Structure 1
Amino acid sequence: MNSVLVADAHLFTCKGIAALIGEIGPHQVVGTAHDGRHAAQLAHELQPDLLVISADLDGLACLDAIATVKRRRATQKVLVLCETGSAGSAREALRIGCEGFLRKTTSKEELGRAVAEVLAGRTYADPEISRRLLLTPEGDGHDRAEAALRALSPRERSVFRLIAQGHTNRSAGERLNLSHKTVEKHRATAMSKLRLKTAVDLRLLAVELGIVQRDTPAAPAAAA
């Protein structure tokens, strides 16, 4: 029986992923987490055979959480789930040691193949992401945007992600346990580092990077 830890920002999505994993093979979900910091902590405590982690985590961003997990236990196998799966995101995840990268829109059968491949010690990316990796050369504009995002602190990345998803400064602060003034400061710093002038610019970059989908409600133009 393979032990699996599931991490996703949304409770029902997390439960759904856990249920699917229980159906696709001899796997037991030994824990769930809803933010990056908790995911890294549980991975350290439980040492599961596989960590299935969503790219849209709050608190400690997904890639930062994975880097922490890998630093503590280099042999930890990791499968990343994302909404859209940009080539830059996949390339960065693989660079820091993830064994698998899969879109959330994939089929149950594809999830089963990904889990089996990663547990067997092989690298797996679903066909669409593999195609994007082949067609998108390193160092293009998309990868430069990814590099700029990596220049943000973990807290700035979390704020960037929440604002892009449509949160106000106040609601983002509630999610991160910060005051809206602190969120406003992180938001301004992130936008300055990324050379963004408006909330629309921020959202367009988030869509380009696959952080949010185009049909996600737009972020407010003014702080609230």
Structure 2
Amino acid sequence: MIRVLVADDQALVRAALAALLNLEADIEVVAEAHSGNHAVQQAHQHQPDIALIDIDMPDGNGLDTTFRITTEIPHCRCIIVTTFGRPGYLRTALKAGASGFVIKDTPPEALADAIRKVHSGLRAIDPQLAEESLLVPDCPLTEREITICQLLLKGTDAKTIAKKLFITAGTVRNLFSSIITKTGTTNRYEAARIAHSYGWL
């Protein structure tokens, strides 16, 4: 039996995935988790072969969680299962140690096949997303610029950004200019949207 952990902050999604996978003769869902930290705890406790990890979770997003699980429990291989089919996320997930990347609208039988493939030592990556990832450049933004883009997407103004990051208004303006240049856009809001669409944030 392939022992599987399902980590997703939405209870209905967790339950549906577990129910579908438990119908497979060679797959058993041995644990479920509702957050990043909970997923790591459950992985330590139940020692699954495969962990299905959502990206958008509280207390440690799926990418950080994947890194922790693959580092702390090397025999457990991680597959990202997410609605966020962005090429940048795929690259980051692979760097974090993920062995698979599957979109949530994937048919159940395809997800089961991905689990078997990864369990056998191979990778399982959505083919369209893999192709798109070849066209997206590596993230050119610094950590501070990424933080600023995230704040811009939340509607935070320049003055508030300066206060939050303990920097001057002039520094914020300079960082806006840098982000715009690096993304090849015309204003800071467009730059933040582009960064988000590439999966850099």
Q: In which range does the TM-score fall when normalised by the shorter chain?
A: 0.7 to 0.9
Partner of 2:69: 69
- RMSD across aligned C-alpha pairs, in angstroms? 3.5
* TM-score, structure 2 normalization: 0.73
Partner of 1:144: 140
Alpha-carbon distance, 1:47 to partner: 1.0
* TM-score, structure 1 normalization: 0.66
Identity across aligned pairs (percent)? 27
Q: What is the CA–CA distance in structure 1 between the aligned matches of 2:25 and 2:188, rounded to whole Å?
A: 47
- Deviation sequence 1:140-171 (CA, Å, 0-9, x none): xxx335x648976xxx9xxx69x96x8xxxxx
Q: Which amino acid aligns with 2:63?
A: L
Q: Which amino acid aligns with 2:199?
A: L
CA contact (8 A) 1:102 1:129 kept: no
Partner of 2:98: 98
Partner of 2:47: 47
Alpha-carbon distance, 1:11 to partner: 0.6
Alpha-carbon distance, 1:61 to partner: 1.4
Ranges in structure 1 where 5+ consecutive residues have no aligned partner:
167-183, 212-224
Partner of 1:86: 86
Q: What is the CA–CA distance in structure 2 between the aligned matches of 1:210 and 1:15, rounded to whole Å?
A: 30
Partner of 2:183: none
Task: Give structure 1 regions of 4+ aligned residues with deviation exceeding 2 angstroms.
Answer: 133-136, 147-152, 194-211
Number of equivalent positions: 179
CA contact (8 A) 2:146 2:200 kept: no
Alpha-carbon distance, 1:210 to partner: 8.8
Which stretch shows the higher mean deviation, 66-75 or 118-127? 66-75
Partner of 1:35: 35
Q: What is the CA–CA distance in structure 2 between the aligned matches of 1:151 and 1:4, rounded to whole Å?
A: 33
CA contact (8 A) 1:84 1:210 kept: no
Ranges in structure 2 where 5+ consecutive residues have no aligned partner:
155-159, 166-171, 180-186
CA contact (8 A) 1:86 1:210 kept: no
CA contact (8 A) 1:85 1:210 kept: no
Partner of 1:209: 199
- Deviation sequence 1:173-195 (CA, Å, 0-9, x none): xxxxxxxxxxx99x944xx7x85
Q: What is the CA–CA distance in structure 2 between the aligned matches of 1:120 and 1:198, rounded to whole Å?
A: 45
**Distance 1:115-1:206 versus aligned 2 partners, 3 A rule:** same
- Deviation sequence 1:62-93 (CA, Å, 0-9, x none): 11111111221222211101213211111111
Partner of 1:177: none
